[in-house]
């Protein structure tokens, strides 16, 4: 069974971005999660292309970019050029889902689609065969450090069942409020990749916390 940890750089020390990225690079985490917020789709602003550059330079791990921005299709190419391996956009953020998927594929990255806690998994039914990743938000997007919404486990199970029914191949990633305390049940519900920001960067030993999550 695949188990991937994707530490969210939103919780890193931006004054020591190279140091923190290299620390993740040496850890058991296979992916690095990059949260891009525009202050419109979510009530917060994080960072964009210039901040991705030093992260890309400091690690060879998979860059897992989570776009919390409106009209993502306008920018996906630039995120791929900045080094994204996966580009994930929100179902709720665009009128042009197919155009956004095509733009990410054309630029050469893998495609992810994300849904907010109040969005039903069923809206993705006709999209699932076209994507490489589904990102289930287990908190309202916008901020790190929130508590995991328990109903997310049912949504993960539902998506895993839909995947099996359709014979689809996408990975299920879960984002928000995850630590070694609940990682085991989130993996068990059917997820392959877990995002963790505050649990990793707030730990006394981040590398050990990552291993604990993998073994949870
Ligand atoms: C929230 C972001 C998350 C966030 C997770 O909008 O998408 O990736 O960094 O942070 P924690 O793990 O602290 O909930
Ligand atoms: Zn995220």
- 173-197 pLDDT, tens digit each: 999 999 999 999 999 999 999 999 9
Count Cα atoms within 13 angstroms, Cβ side, for 206.
Answer: 24
Q: Answer yes or no: is pLDDT of 164 > 90.
A: yes
Report, as an integer, the average pLDDT of 151-172: 97
**Residue 35 annotated to the active site:** yes
Per-residue b or e along 37-75, where b marks 16 or more CB atoms closer than 10 Å to that residue's CB: bbeebbeeebbbeeebeebbebbebbbbbbbbbbebbeb
Q: What is the pLDDT of residues 27-74, one digit of tens each?
A: 999 999 999 999 999 999 999 999 999 999 999 999 999 999 999 999
Q: Are 136 and 191 in contact (CB under 8 A)?
A: yes
C-alpha to C-alpha distance for 12 and 106, rounded to whole angstroms: 31
- Inform me whether the pLDDT recorded for 210 exceeds 90: yes
User: For tokens 């006709």, what's the residue?
Assistant: 126
pLDDT band at 104 (very low <50, low <70, confident <90, very high): very high
Q: What is the pLDDT of residue 197?
A: 98
Supply the pLDDT for residue 195. Answer: 98
Ligand 2 centroid, distance to 33 Cα (angstroms): 7
What is the CA(195)–ligand 1 centre distance, in A? 7
Q: Which of 38, 64, 132, 175 is catalytic?
A: 175
Contact indicator for 112, 135 with CB cutoff of 8 Å: yes
Ligand 1 center to 198 CA (angstroms): 8
**Can you read off the two tokens belonging to residue 11?**
């919780």
User: Which ligand does the CA of 64 lie closest to?
Assistant: 2
- What is the reported pTM? 0.98
Which of ligand 1's atoms lies nearest the C-alpha of 176? 14
Going from the C-alpha of 52 to that of each of 35, 46, 66, 116, the distances in angstroms are 10, 11, 12, 24
pLDDT in tens, 2-38: 999 999 999 999 999 999 999 999 999 999 999 999 9
Please state, rounded to an integer, the average pLDDT across all residues of the chain: 97
The atom number, within ligand 1, closest to the CA of 8 reads 9
Residue 115: strand pairing partners: 136
Say if residue 1's pLDDT is above 90: no
């Amino acid at each position: 069974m695949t188990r991937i940890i994707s530490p969210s750089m939103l919780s890193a020390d931006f004054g020591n971005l190279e140091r923190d990225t290299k620390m993740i690079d040496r850890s058991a985490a296979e992916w690095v999660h990059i949260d891009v917020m525009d202050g419109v789709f979510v009530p917060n602003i994080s960072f964009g292309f210039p901040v991705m550059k030093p992260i890309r330079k400091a690690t060879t791990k998979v860059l897992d970019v989570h776009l919390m921005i409106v009209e993502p299709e306008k920018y996906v190419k630039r995120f791929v050029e900045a080094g994204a391996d996966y580009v994930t956009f929100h179902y709720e953020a665009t009128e042009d889902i197919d155009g956004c998927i095509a733009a990410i594929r054309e630029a050469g990255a893998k495609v992810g689609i994300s849904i907010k806690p109040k969005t039903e998994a069923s809206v993705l039914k006709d999209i699932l065969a076209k994507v490489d990743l589904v990102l289930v938000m287990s908190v309202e997007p916008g901020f790190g450090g929130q508590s995991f919404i328990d109903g997310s486990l049912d949504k993960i199970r539902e998506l895993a069942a839909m995947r099996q029914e359709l014979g689809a191949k996408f990975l299920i990633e879960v984002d928000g409020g995850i630590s070694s305390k609940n990682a085991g049940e989130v993996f068990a519900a059917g997820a392959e990749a877990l995002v963790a920001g505050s649990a990793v960067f707030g730990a006394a030993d981040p590398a050990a916390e990552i291993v604990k999550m993998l073994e949870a």
